[in-house]
């Protein structure tokens, strides 16, 4: 076991969006920080496709050396929509009346957001231990000894940004009981032979619901839940179909 000679103020476990934003904010404040990321490279698959107004506001506080704001760089990589779906709500949410400089959502894939963040982390010279894993830690009066495989890094603080199954949170005794899943869903980012002309909801008591959203470069996101999980009676499905919607609502042939 070796002990790293560099003693950063903070080690952040996990270089997902939360870890990278945390590191950039700390670095902006003059605090030395290092990231530890299990994956050798960024995940090309996307989970999130949307940044909401409050996130866009918060990210304006992070700037490039030339004065550009992180939010403006992200805006240039996506498209803004003043009204859009949220989860499985039957109506679109309207952001246009919000008292914010960003009264819209930014449609951008998480993979793109992470690429932009990683480039800025690199440009700032923040050290990233890629392909390495936080395997444990001990806290004492001076700070924390972070185990990264066989290496021990001594730091003032350890931030657990290591995702839903966080080792840091579990070892720190911070509970996160959550709730059991109540629906069976599916999601795919796919190329379609015959894509619909725009965002589309499809409701049917035999097939469940599916939403089709155009993403970027000809890729569509399809997601929905299985029929037994819609919780709707055939009559309720029919009523939803007849509700006027700015989105295309169609029935299977």
Ligand X SMILES: Cc1cc2nc3c(=O)[nH]c(=O)nc-3n(C[C@H](O)[C@H](O)[C@H](O)COP(=O)(O)OP(=O)(O)OC[C@H]3O[C@@H](n4cnc5c(N)ncnc54)[C@H](O)[C@@H]3O)c2cc1C
Residues near ligand X (CB under 6 A): 13-19, 36-39, 47-50, 110, 133-134, 161-163, 167, 187
Q: Which is nearer to ligand X, 136 or 234 (CB)?
A: 136
Q: Give the number of other Cβ atoms within 10 Å of residue 113's Cβ.
A: 25
List phi, psi (to 5°) of 138: -130, 135
State the nearest-atom distance from the C-beta of 188 to ligand X, in Å.
10
Query: CB 158 → ligand X: shortest distance, Å?
Result: 11
Residue number with CB closer to ligand X (27 or 237):
27
HSE, side-chain direction, 13 A CA sphere, residue 85: 21
Q: ∠ at Cα 123 (146, 33), nearest 5°? A: 20
Smallest gap from Cβ 38 to ligand X, in A, equals 4
Residues 152, 155, 159, CA angle at the centre, nearest 5°? Answer: 100
Which residue of this chain has its Cβ atom nearest to ligand X in the complex?
16
Map residue 202 onto helix, strand or coil: strand
Beta bridge partners of 105: 81
Closer CB to ligand X, 205 or 216, in the complex: 216
Which residue lies nearer to ligand X by CB, 20 or 202? 20
Residue 33 CB, nearest approach to ligand X (Å): 14
**DSSP 8-state code for residue 251:** -
Shortest Cβ 47–ligand X spacing (Å): 3
Q: Which is nearer to ligand X, 161 or 202 (CB)?
A: 161
Q: Residue 180 Cβ, how far from ligand X at the closest point, in Å?
A: 16
Number of neighbouring beta carbons within 10 Å of residue 160: 20
The answer to whether 126 and 28 have CB atoms below 8 angstroms apart is no
Q: Which is nearer to ligand X, 36 or 237 (CB)?
A: 36
CA distances from 32 to 54, 65, 126 (A): 27, 17, 8
CB-CB contact of 14 with 163 (8 Å): yes
């Amino acid at each position: 076991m070796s002990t790293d000679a560099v003693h950063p103020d903070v080690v952040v476990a996990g270089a997902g969006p939360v870890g990278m934003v945390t590191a950039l904010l700390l670095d902006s404040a003059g605090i030395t920080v290092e990231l530890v990321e299990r994956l050798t490279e960024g995940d090309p698959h996307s989970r999130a496709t949307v940044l909401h107004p409050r996130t866009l506001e918060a990210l304006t506080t992070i700037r490039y050396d030339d004065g550009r704001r992180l939010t403006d760089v992200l805006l240039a990589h996506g498209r803004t929509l003043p009204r859009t779906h949220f989860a499985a709500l039957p109506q679109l949410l309207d952001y246009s009346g919000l008292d914010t400089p960003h009264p819209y959502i930014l449609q951008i894939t998480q993979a793109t957001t992470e690429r932009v963040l990683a480039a800025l982390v690199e440009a700032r010279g923040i050290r990233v231990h890629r392909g390495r894993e936080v395997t444990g830690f001990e806290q004492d009066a001076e700070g924390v000894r972070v185990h990264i495989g066989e290496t021990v890094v001594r730091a003032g603080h350890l931030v657990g940004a290591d995702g839903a199954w966080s080792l840091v949170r579990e070892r720190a005794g911070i509970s996160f009981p959550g709730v059991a899943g109540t629906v069976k869903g599916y999601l795919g980012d796919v190329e379609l032979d015959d894509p619909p002309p725009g965002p589309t909801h499809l409701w049917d008591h035999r097939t469940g619901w599916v939403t089709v959203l155009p993403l970027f470069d000809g890729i569509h996101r399809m997601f929905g839940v299985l029929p037994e999980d819609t919780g709707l009676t055939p009559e309720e499905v029919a009523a939803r179909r007849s509700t006027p919607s700015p989105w295309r609502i169609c029935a299977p042939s």
